Structure 1
Amino acid sequence: MPFSSYANNQTNIASSVKVPNSALNISKENTYPNASQDMPYLEPSELAKELIGTSNVKIENPDLIRMLNESTISKSILAFGSRATIYLGQWPLNYESSETNTNWEYQRINTNLFDNRGGKIPYQIRYRQEEQKQIKGGLTASVPNAEHVKQMMLLKAMDKTNLPLAFTTVIGAGTKKDQVYNVPPKKIGYLYGYAPAVNEKGKVTYGEVYLVLKGTKHSIVVKNVTSQGIGAWIPVQDYVSFSFGVYDQPR
C-alpha cells in the first residue's frame, strides 16, 4: 500500500504557527524518548479511488480507506451482471476543521525557584524538569468511533499547524535547557514550565456506508448522514513554554 507522509522534522519545523520566544524545543534534551508521531496518509488504491469518487459524501477516514484498499471485487461476479448491496457499517466519514488555536500554557508541568533574598549579586537559574510528566489530550465530548475521529482531527491539526502533535506526550525527569534566567538580590525567582497544546474544533460527519453492485458498475452509497460538532486538545510534543517572575515573598 503506498503512503504519502505528513512527517514533521521536530528539530527543524517550518511551522505555519508562530512559536513564541518563550517556547523551546526540547526534543534533543528530553530524557524520555517520545515515539515519533509522523502520521502517514493512506493513499487509496485504484479501486478505492473509483469507489470513493462515486460516494455522495466525502470520505477521508483512513481506516475506511484501508478497508476499501483491502477489498476486491471479482471480475466473474461483474461479468454475470450481479446485483447486490453490501452494508459496510456506520463510519465517521470526514472531519471538517473550523478553528485551530494553540495554548502555549496548556498545563503547568514544572517549577524551578531560587530564593536570593539574602544574596548580594544576581543568581542564574535554568530549567530542570523535577519530575516526569505525562500530558494527555483528548476529545471534548463523547462520540461514536472516537479513535477514528481522533486520528482525522490529529491529521488535520498537524497539517494546519505543522507542529509535532500527539494525544499523549511525556517530559522526562532531569530534562534540562541552558537558557539563563537572572534572579536579582533580595528577590525570589520562579521559573514555570508549561506543556503547550493545540485546541482543534470542527465537525465530524457520520453515515451508513453501502457497496452497491449493479452489473459491471460498482459504487459507494452513504445513507442516514449526520454531523456533530467536536473539539479536541492535542499536546505539542517535545516543547516547553516558560514563564519567569521575581517576587519579594514566596508565592
Structure 2
Amino acid sequence: MKKKLFLTIIMVLSLICSQSALAKGQQQKPKIPDTVMEISKENTYPNPTQDLPYLQPSELSQALIDTSTVPIENPDLIRILNETSISDAPLAFGYRATIYLGEWALNYESTETATNWEYQKINTNFNDNRGGKSPIQMHYKQEAQKSIKGGLTAKVPEAEHVKKMMLLKAMKKTNLPLSFETIIGAGTKTEQIYNVPRKKLGYLYAYAPAVNEKGKVTYGEVYLVLKGNKKSIVVKNVTSQGIGAWIPLQDHVTFGFVTTDQPK
C-alpha cells in the first residue's frame, strides 16, 4: 500500500514539473496577435537579414573555455580564441607565461523577455465617410519611410558586444526575427480591408513591435596562462551589471483600427 502511494506521489510530481516546464517554454515564445502582420514581401525597403549564428568554439577554444570559472559566451572573444594556435613543446617543463587578453564582456544572463506589440507608432491612415450612404473600404499604406531603432537602456562598457549577446539570447527565447534597427519603406501597403461605416470616420494606426530584454552582463579581465604544456584561461576582477534593451521586430507591423463620429 505504501509503495503504491509513493509511486502515485512520484507520478503526480512528475506531471506537475512537466506542465511547469511546458508553461515556462510557452511564456518564452510569445504568441503573435492577430493584429500583427508580417510585411517582409510588401515592404518597399529591403531590410538585410539579421544573421547572428552562435559561433562554435574550436576544439582548443572549447578546452580553454572549460578551464574558466566564469562562463564565456562573447562571440568576439570566442573568435579570437579560435584564431589562437598553441603547439605542445616536448621540452616545455618549467615554461610559464601569462598573456593578458584584455577586459571583456564575458556573458549575458537573461532574466526577463517581454514583447510590446505597440512599441512605436509609425503611420496613420484616415478616411472620412461622414457624408457617405454606404460603408467604404480602406487599406494600410505607409505614408513616409520610417526607421525604428532599438538600443540599450543604459550606457555600459563594450556596448556592441553586449548588444550581440542580448540579441542572440532574445532571438533564441522568442523565435522572432529581431534587429536593433528595422525600416518600413514609404508606399508599403497591404491588401487587408478595413470597413468604415457610413457617417463615421476611420483611423488605421500602424505600430512597430519590439522586445524588451532585461538581464545581467558579466565583465572580467581575461588571461591566457601557460604552464608547461598546460593551457588555461583565468578571469580576474569580475563584475556584473544589470542591463536592458529594446529590440524591434523586423518587417512586422501591428494594426489598430478605430471608427468614430468626431475627428481625433
TM-score, with structure 2 as normaliser: 0.88
Partner SS, residue 236 of structure 2: strand
Question: CA offsets per residue over residues 114-134 of structure 1, 9 Å max, x none?
Answer: 010000100111101110000
What stretches of structure 1 of length at least 5 have no aligned partner?
1-14
| In structure 2, C-alpha distance between the alignment counterparts of 1:116 and 1:78, rounded to whole Å | 89
Letter of the structure 2 residue corresponding to residue 163 of structure 1: L
2:180 aligns with one of 167, 181, 185: 167
Q: Which residue of the partner structure matches residue 62 of structure 2?
A: 49
Question: CA offsets per residue over residues 116-172 of structure 1, 9 Å max, x none?
Answer: 000010011110111000000000000000000000000000000000000000000
| In structure 1, C-alpha distance between the alignment counterparts of 2:93 and 2:55, rounded to whole Å | 32
Letter of the structure 1 residue corresponding to residue 240 of structure 2: S
Q: Which residue of the partner structure matches residue 61 of structure 1?
A: 74
Letter of the structure 2 residue corresponding to residue 112 of structure 1: N
Partner SS, residue 54 of structure 2: strand
Letter of the structure 2 residue corresponding to residue 82 of structure 1: Y
Question: CA offsets per residue over residues 161-202 of structure 1, 9 Å max, x none?
Answer: 000000000000111111111111111100000000000000
**Aligned residue pair count:** 237
| In structure 1, C-alpha distance between the alignment counterparts of 2:49 and 2:43, rounded to whole Å | 13
* 1:94 corresponds to 2:107: yes
Whether contact under 8 Å (1:95, 1:203) holds in the other structure is: yes
Q: Which residue of the partner structure matches residue 24 of structure 2?
A: none
Letter of the structure 2 residue corresponding to residue 123 of structure 1: I
Q: Which residue of the partner structure matches residue 4 of structure 1?
A: none
The two structures, once aligned, show a CA RMSD in angstroms of: 1.2
| In structure 1, C-alpha distance between the alignment counterparts of 2:31 and 2:175, rounded to whole Å | 10
Q: Which has the larger radius of gyration?
A: 2
* 1:148 corresponds to 2:141: no
Q: How does 1:209-248 map to 2 (within 5 A)?
A: 209-248=222-261
Identity percentage over the alignment? Answer: 73
2:135 aligns with one of 122, 134, 149: 122
Q: Which residue of the partner structure matches residue 19 of structure 1?
A: 32
| In structure 1, C-alpha distance between the alignment counterparts of 2:111 and 2:90, rounded to whole Å | 43
- The CA deviation at 1:75 is 2.5
Partner SS, residue 141 of structure 1: coil
TM-score, with structure 1 as normaliser: 0.92
Partner SS, residue 142 of structure 2: coil
Q: Which residue of the partner structure matches residue 11 of structure 2?
A: none
Kindly indicate which of the two structures has a greater share of residues assigned to helix.
2
Whether contact under 8 Å (1:118, 1:185) holds in the other structure is: yes
